[in-house]
């Protein structure tokens, strides 16, 4: 899902079905510019070890320099306090 007002992120939600309703299990956003993964409801960037090499590979493929990454990685899909 792409939110119109945040075109630089892909958004994902997961749910499970209970007898009475759908229950949310997570809400994530992935930056199209940096491959950073956010838990956007909590406005928290996730840094799982399992993704680091994949993220670095993606950044290399798109030609993102370390300086560009430092600048772009500050962009969040949520309002930080």
Are 51 and 42 in contact by the 8 Å Cβ rule? The answer is no
Token representation of residue 46: 């996730």
Residue 69 in 3-state DSSP? helix
Range of the domain at 52: 9-72
Number of domains in the chain: 1
Residue 3 in any domain: the answer is: no
pLDDT recorded at residue 6? 87
Residue 4 in any domain: the answer is: no
22 forms beta bridges with 17
pLDDT, tens digit (0-9, with 9 covering 90-100), for 23-79: 999 999 999 999 999 999 999 999 999 999 999 999 999 999 999 999 999 999 987
Whether 4 shows a pLDDT value over 80: the answer reads no
Whether 80 shows a pLDDT value over 90: the answer reads no
pLDDT, tens digit (0-9, with 9 covering 90-100), for 22-32: 999 999 999 99
Cα(53)–Cα(46) distance, integer angstroms: 14
């Amino acid at each position: 899902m792409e939110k119109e007002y945040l075109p630089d992120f892909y958004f994902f939600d997961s749910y499970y079905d209970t007898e009475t309703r759908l229950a949310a299990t997570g809400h994530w956003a992935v930056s199209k510019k940096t491959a950073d993964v956010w838990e956007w409801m909590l406005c928290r960037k996730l840094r799982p070890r399992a993704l680091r090499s994949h993220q670095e590979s993606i950044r290399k493929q798109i030609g993102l320099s370390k300086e560009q990454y430092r600048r772009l990685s500050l962009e969040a899909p949520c309002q930080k306090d």
